[in-house]
């Protein structure tokens, strides 16, 4: 029987890509040097930079604010302006990002439904403070039994240590949990490698890397349908009236 559900946070419950693209667009509009590159090129380069430095932030080796400035140092250099105003651009990015944050459609309804019968854990490659704020801001905090971060554990997904830490926090075995996440390697390969069944949230319609490893879902709604995939025993669908 399934006793717990583990969720990734960014781009699974909270729409990071939407807010991040809006922030990059806002910064590009303000800083003419960045207009030498198309927005799509800046978005792609931004992702490459994040892939390079994010683990250091995630496990606490690098300060979040410093990483934001470093990101813009590299983006200005990418645009041909190595002496761009990275600190000012990073602060503007932060403000525009905050203003454009939103939940992934159906996320709150699904977490609310699942939390009525299962223990809910968030398993995330980020800092405790950043992720606590998101959970509180978007209404997830009351339903979450455990927030498990790479900063706290000292290991980032797909490392099995962070998944084992989550299982310990929700007091269940691997076969009693299901992981839902959008990042194939970090969330799905990581969870299944730790013995946890996974559902891959594929909102972008990407090619499925391995259909034998995890079932894909295109959205988090309708909540009852996703809940039935999480708990095939239908414990959630047979709640007393």
Task: Tell me the β-bridge partners of 121.
Answer: 6, 146
- CATH code reported for the domain at 4-15+102-230: 3.40.50.1000
Sheet holding 146-149, edge to edge: 146-149, 119-124, 4-7, 177-181, 197-201, 215-217
Question: Chain-wide mean pLDDT for the chain?
Answer: 95
Residue 136 sits at φ, ψ, to 5 deg, of -70, -45
Mean pLDDT along residues 79-108: 97
**8 A C-beta contact, residue 155 and residue 161:** yes
Mean pLDDT along residues 17-30: 98
Q: Is a pLDDT exceeding 60 seen at residue 235? A: no
Tell which residue, 172, 173, 175, has the closest CA to residue 198. Answer: 175
Q: What is the pLDDT of residues 130-146, one digit of tens each?
A: 999 999 999 999 999 99
Q: Is a pLDDT exceeding 80 seen at residue 209? A: yes
């Amino acid at each position: 029987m399934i006793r717990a559900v583990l969720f990734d946070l960014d781009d699974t419950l909270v729409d990071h890509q939407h807010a991040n693209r809006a922030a990059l667009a806002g910064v590009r509009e303000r800083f003419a040097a960045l207009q030498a590159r198309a927005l799509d090129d800046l978005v792609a380069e931004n992702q490459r930079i994040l892939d390079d430095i994010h683990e250091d932030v995630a496990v606490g080796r690098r300060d979040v604010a410093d990483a934001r400035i470093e990101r813009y140092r590299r983006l200005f250099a990418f645009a041909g302006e190595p002496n761009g105003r990275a600190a000012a651009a990073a602060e503007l990015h932060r403000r525009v990002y905050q203003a454009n944050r939103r939940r992934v459609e159906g996320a709150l309804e699904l977490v609310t439904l699942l939390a009525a019968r299962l223990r809910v854990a968030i398993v995330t490659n980020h800092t405790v403070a950043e992720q606590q704020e998101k959970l509180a801001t978007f209404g997830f905090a009351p339903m979450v039994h455990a927030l498990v971060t790479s900063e706290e554990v000292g290991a980032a997904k797909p490392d099995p240590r962070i998944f084992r830490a989550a299982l310990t926090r929700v007091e269940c075995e691997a076969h009693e949990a299901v992981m839902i996440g959008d990042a194939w390697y970090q969330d799905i390969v990581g969870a299944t490698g730790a013995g946890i069944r996974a559902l891959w949230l594929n909102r972008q319609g990407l090619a499925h890397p391995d259909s034998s490893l995890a079932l894909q879902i295109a959205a988090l709604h309708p909540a009852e349908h996703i809940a039935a995939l999480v708990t095939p025993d239908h414990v959630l669908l047979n709640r007393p009236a």
